[in-house]
Chains A and B, each alone.
Chain A
Amino acid sequence: MAADVHKKKGWEVPNGSLAPGDGQHAERAESPTPGLAQGTEPGAGQEGAMFVHTRSYEDLTSPEDGGVAARSPEERQGEPAEPTSMEQISKDFSELSTQLTGMALDLEEEMRQNKEGKLEPSPQAARRDSVLSGKEEEDVTMDAWRMHRKHVFVLSEAGKPVYSRYGSEEALSSTMGVMMALVSFLEAEKNAIRSIHADGYKVVFVRRSPLVLVAVARTRQSEQEIAHELLYIYYQILSLLTWTQLNHIFQQKQNYDLRRLLAGSERITDNLLDLMAHDPSFLMGAVRCLPLASSVRDAVSTSLQQAKAKSLVFSILLSGNQLVSLVRKKDQFLHPIDLHLLFNLISSSSSFREGEAWTPICLPKFNSSGFFHAHISYLEQEMDLCLLLVSTDREDFFTVSDCKRRFQERLRRRGVYHALQEALRTPFYSVAQVGIPDLRHFIYKSKSSGLFTSPEIEAPYVREEEKERLLGLYQYLHSRAHNSSRPLKNIYFTGPRENLLAWVTSAFELYICYSPLGTKAGAISAVNKLMKWIRKEEDRLFILTPQTY
């Protein structure tokens, strides 16, 4: 069978091997966690979290959208009274959730199409490369432009183009005009357009006054996930301008051309979109740590902690898109989204490699109305270790710069430079370390710490499009697990090229990908083994003792 998608609920797990107490399933609304209570799962911080507590992307989508919709009655009915009578439950389930099935078929169809090897290499060639060489934009009338898998447009409420992922904004002004007309037309009726589904495309609208964000995608992502990415773009714009300034500008002049202010930072937005297509951090709404011996990490954290200054709010050491250490002011929490934006900022600019940068930055989830000043520098020329010191005082450059010097001195004195260098040589671990033959890849997120871990993506996911396909599968499972009208806790997915299993509890989320020849029972035992391994390795893979100044 081409794409045989099985989606069954948690109680299908045989023998209750995942869940010590079977009886716990009776009241899912109250969300009893099988086995692990939140805060005790592997990777949970021992002294509280370092991030704002988030529930993945519901946190992003819900506040302004009026909260996660109340659970539908049919879902309650779908609750099993007796976890043993599987057949009955499955039957009830399929009868009750007709709406879901319709949607699911739609998705399956889409996935099937995608599987037919139509995954062309993502056309990144025509990206604007730098302001210096002038924008090399592609012709929007060409077929190649239409063929992009995901377009993203940002426009003002006056219908003025602000950003387009591909092609020049000018050439697209009439297209954006049409988008704004659609939005306004429905708003006149006291309604709001959320998405259009047609011909394999999803057109998703996100309205964040004074901006309108639109995505035109033919990826397998759900509408909710595309909206989630659009919100990231919105926050990205806020991080450069602040919400206050953005609103002020448009209050002063409704048809202001925002591109003037965003000039030179399109690449940051471009980079964010590319990063979201490759890095599961955004999907998971969590942060990945650089695997590091806990003694080394503690030494780094202590050094960071000691190199403090009055105006410092966060000291962050990162490598690639992985967190090495984070020290924060007491009672101040960083939101993972803000941290992702910082990661993106650093990965999208090479200019931080030279000297020390001192730049205003807004952390929109922390405070969307003001700027922090960030001191950004690399520790050593050849080392991929970037230090970010976030200060409240824009006059404090020399004090903060001195913090960096003191931090480096302490690192040297503690003799951890070498160990850090060693760790940087293998920034990812291999799934082979887990010792489960059929296991190909996994993503494990600890909800209470907001951290996740995942091995390097290895064979058979070698080519770029294969990697994207794997992430696409995770996206699909994630969207099913977090579907706001019908969330799932356990998903078992059988595909022609791999099998996947998703398990979402109130404490953690686990997605595993394993050989297509593996059985479901095999997957269950793999999950058990994997959880034990993560527990064993947790002090290397996670930051268990977050520090404050």
Chain B
Amino acid sequence: MAGTSLDRTHPTYIYKVVLLGSTSVGKSSLAYRYVKNDFKESLPTMGCAFLTQTLCLEAATVRLEIWDTAGQEKYHSVCHLYYRGAHAALLVYDITSKETLSRAKLWLQELEKEFLHDEIVIALVGNKTDLMAEREVTTEEGEEFAKSKNLLYMETSAKSNYHVSEVFTAVAQELVAREGEKAAVQRPAPTDLQEPRGSGPRCCQL
């Protein structure tokens, strides 16, 4: 768990969410649509971009720290830096390219090496539903794979604003729900929000 407010009835959580996937599947566009509710053709991301969005759920206020990574091969060696300590990951593929789904599967393998199963919430996201005519990956195919690996699954379109905030909300809800389960097992000590950031890995407070 990342952080809690002192208000027990409506806590605030901060989660790190990382976007992973091949180059030009629409990771930055998803993040941009979600945070700014806008769409524009973007150029390849360098390294990674950091954005935040706060959302109010019934049970808690959630602040998502979104790490939008570069999909280009030259950044793969540094990518582990970006997903380390993440609470959630969105594995993004392009529904018009089968290859990007295989790439997402590889990302999953990498995450499985780094995280225990209940340590991270993973969502499989098939983007670009606005390009239905060029579809190469069926909804069933994505859904089935997600099911087999116990992942959240959603198809989105950053361009036509379809299911974008839904996928982030679903992830946030899942994270909060897990928070509840953990609390049932053991009551965690509240973390001080004033604690300076970056003073050590923020993931290891569990």
Answer whether A131 and B44 are a contact pair too, CB < 8 Å, given A241-B74, A265-B72.
Answer: yes
Answer whether A359 and B198 are a contact pair too, CB < 8 Å, given A240-B74, A264-B72, A354-B32.
Answer: no
A261 vs B197: C-alpha distance in the bound complex, in angstroms? 33
Interface flags, B24-62, vs A, CB<8A=1, else 0: 100010011001100001111111111110000000000
A358 within 8 A of B: yes
Closest beta carbon of chain B to A361's beta carbon, Å? 8
Q: Which residues of A contact B68 (CB under 8 A)?
A: 355
A402 within 8 A of B: yes
B73 within 8 A of A: yes
B203 within 8 A of A: no
Q: Tell whether, in the assembled complex, residue B198 and residue A349 are in contact, meaning their CB atoms are under 8 Å apart.
A: no
Q: Which residues of A contact B115 (CB under 8 A)?
A: none
Closest beta carbon of chain B to A261's beta carbon, Å? 4
Closest beta carbon of chain A to B4's beta carbon, Å? 19
Q: Tell whether, in the assembled complex, residue A351 and residue B28 are in contact, meaning their CB atoms are under 8 Å apart.
A: yes
B106 within 8 A of A: no
A252 within 8 A of B: no
Q: Which of B48-100 contact A (CB under 8 A)?
A: 48-52, 66, 68, 70, 72-75, 78, 81
B23 within 8 A of A: yes
Q: Which of A117-132 contact B (CB under 8 A)?
A: 130-132
Q: Tell whether, in the assembled complex, residue A398 and residue B197 are in contact, meaning their CB atoms are under 8 Å apart.
A: yes
Q: Which residues of A contact B48 (CB under 8 A)?
A: 357-359
Q: Tell whether, in the assembled complex, residue A360 and residue B78 are in contact, meaning their CB atoms are under 8 Å apart.
A: yes
Q: Tell whether, in the assembled complex, residue A397 and residue B198 are in contact, meaning their CB atoms are under 8 Å apart.
A: yes
Q: Tell whether, in the assembled complex, residue B198 and residue A402 are in contact, meaning their CB atoms are under 8 Å apart.
A: yes
Answer whether A263 and B42 are a contact pair too, CB < 8 Å, given A354-B36, A355-B35, A401-B50.
Answer: no
Q: Tell whether, in the assembled complex, residue A356 and residue B198 are in contact, meaning their CB atoms are under 8 Å apart.
A: no
A439 vs B204: C-alpha distance in the bound complex, in angstroms? 66
Q: Which residues of B contact A365 (CB under 8 A)?
A: none
Interface flags, A256-291, vs B, CB<8A=1, else 0: 000011111101000000000000000000000000
Interface flags, A314-346, vs B, CB<8A=1, else 0: 000000000000000000000000000000010
A395 vs B197: C-alpha distance in the bound complex, in angstroms? 12
Task: Name which residue of chain B comes closest to A395, CB basis.
Answer: B81
Range class of the B interface residue count: 20 to 34
A352 vs B45: C-alpha distance in the bound complex, in angstroms? 8
A58 within 8 A of B: no
Q: Which residues of B contact A240 (CB under 8 A)?
A: 74
Q: Tell whether, in the assembled complex, residue A354 and residue B49 are in contact, meaning their CB atoms are under 8 Å apart.
A: yes
Answer whether A130 and B73 are a contact pair too, CB < 8 Å, given A264-B23, A354-B51, A396-B198.
Answer: no
B44, B46, B196 pick with most chain A CB within 10 angstroms: B46
A399 within 8 A of B: yes
Q: Which residues of A contact B32 (CB under 8 A)?
A: 354
| Secondary structure call for the B interface | mixed
Closest beta carbon of chain A to B65's beta carbon, Å? 10
Closest beta carbon of chain A to B8's beta carbon, Å? 27
Closest beta carbon of chain B to A371's beta carbon, Å? 8
Task: Name which residue of chain B comes closest to A355, CB basis.
Answer: B51
Q: Tell whether, in the assembled complex, residue B46 and residue A132 are in contact, meaning their CB atoms are under 8 Å apart.
A: no
Q: Tell whether, in the assembled complex, residue B41 and residue A130 are in contact, meaning their CB atoms are under 8 Å apart.
A: yes
**When the two chains form the complex, which single residue of B28, B51, B73, B198 contacts A263, counting CB atoms closer than 8 Å?**
B73
Q: Which residues of B contact A267 (CB under 8 A)?
A: 43
Answer whether A359 and B46 are a contact pair too, CB < 8 Å, given A263-B73, A354-B36, A354-B51.
Answer: yes
**When the two chains form the complex, which single residue of A264, A357, A396, A399 contacts B49, counting CB atoms closer than 8 Å?**
A357
Q: Tell whether, in the assembled complex, residue A357 and residue B46 are in contact, meaning their CB atoms are under 8 Å apart.
A: yes
Answer whether A399 and B198 are a contact pair too, CB < 8 Å, given A132-B41, A354-B51.
Answer: yes
Closest beta carbon of chain B to A58's beta carbon, Å? 32
Q: Tell whether, in the assembled complex, residue B78 and residue A260 are in contact, meaning their CB atoms are under 8 Å apart.
A: no
A475 vs B1: C-alpha distance in the bound complex, in angstroms? 60
A394 within 8 A of B: yes
Q: Which residues of A contact B24 (CB under 8 A)?
A: 131-132
Q: Which residues of B contact A361 (CB under 8 A)?
A: 47
Q: Which residues of B contact A132 (CB under 8 A)?
A: 24, 41-42
Interface flags, A292-314, vs B, CB<8A=1, else 0: 00000000000000000000000
Q: Tell whether, in the assembled complex, residue B35 and residue A265 are in contact, meaning their CB atoms are under 8 Å apart.
A: no
Q: Tell whether, in the assembled complex, residue B73 and residue A261 are in contact, meaning their CB atoms are under 8 Å apart.
A: yes
Q: Tell whether, in the assembled complex, residue B36 and residue A351 are in contact, meaning their CB atoms are under 8 Å apart.
A: no
A29 vs B185: C-alpha distance in the bound complex, in angstroms? 83
Answer whether A358 and B47 are a contact pair too, CB < 8 Å, given A263-B73, A351-B42.
Answer: yes
Closest beta carbon of chain B to A250's beta carbon, Å? 15
Q: Tell whether, in the assembled complex, residue A356 and residue B73 are in contact, meaning their CB atoms are under 8 Å apart.
A: no
A397 vs B52: C-alpha distance in the bound complex, in angstroms? 14
A350 within 8 A of B: yes
Task: Name which residue of chain A comes closest to B201, CB basis.
Answer: A395
Closest beta carbon of chain A to B125's beta carbon, Å? 17
**When the two chains form the complex, which single residue of B23, B35, B45, B72 contacts A351, counting CB atoms closer than 8 Å?**
B45
Q: Which residues of B contact A241 (CB under 8 A)?
A: 74
A264 vs B22: C-alpha distance in the bound complex, in angstroms? 12
Q: Which of A346-396 contact B (CB under 8 A)?
A: 348-352, 354-361, 371, 373-374, 376, 394-396
Task: Name which residue of chain A comes closest to B51, CB basis.
Answer: A355
A189 vs B190: C-alpha distance in the bound complex, in angstroms? 74
Q: Which residues of A contact B66 (CB under 8 A)?
A: 355
Q: Which residues of A contact B35 (CB under 8 A)?
A: 354-355
Q: Tell whether, in the assembled complex, residue A360 and residue B47 are in contact, meaning their CB atoms are under 8 Å apart.
A: yes
Task: Name which residue of chain A comes closest to B67, CB basis.
Answer: A358
Q: Which residues of A contact B41 (CB under 8 A)?
A: 130, 132-133
A355 vs B31: C-alpha distance in the bound complex, in angstroms? 10
Answer whether A263 and B23 are a contact pair too, CB < 8 Å, given A355-B68, A399-B198.
Answer: yes
Q: Which of B148-191 contact A (CB under 8 A)?
A: none
Task: Name which residue of chain A comes closest to B76, CB basis.
Answer: A261
Q: Tell whether, in the assembled complex, residue A356 and residue B49 are in contact, meaning their CB atoms are under 8 Å apart.
A: yes
Q: Which of A231-271 contact B (CB under 8 A)?
A: 240-241, 260-265, 267
A351 vs B43: C-alpha distance in the bound complex, in angstroms? 6
A401 vs B48: C-alpha distance in the bound complex, in angstroms? 13
Answer whether A130 and B43 are a contact pair too, CB < 8 Å, given A354-B49, A357-B49, A399-B198.
Answer: yes
Task: Name which residue of chain B comes closest to A262, CB basis.
Answer: B74
Known: A358-B50, A394-B78. 8 other contacts (CB 8 A): A263-B73, A264-B23, A354-B32, A355-B51, A355-B52, A358-B47, A359-B46, A395-B81
Write 14 A-B pairs (CB below 8 A) sorted by A numbering: A131-B44, A265-B74, A350-B42, A351-B42, A351-B45, A354-B32, A355-B35, A355-B49, A355-B66, A357-B50, A360-B75, A373-B47, A396-B198, A398-B197
Residues of A within 8 A of B (CB): 130-133, 240-241, 260-265, 267, 345, 348-352, 354-361, 371, 373-374, 376, 394-399, 401-402
Across the A-B interface, give the 6 residue pairs with the lowest CB-CB distance, nearest first: A359-B47, A398-B198, A264-B44, A355-B51, A398-B197, A359-B46
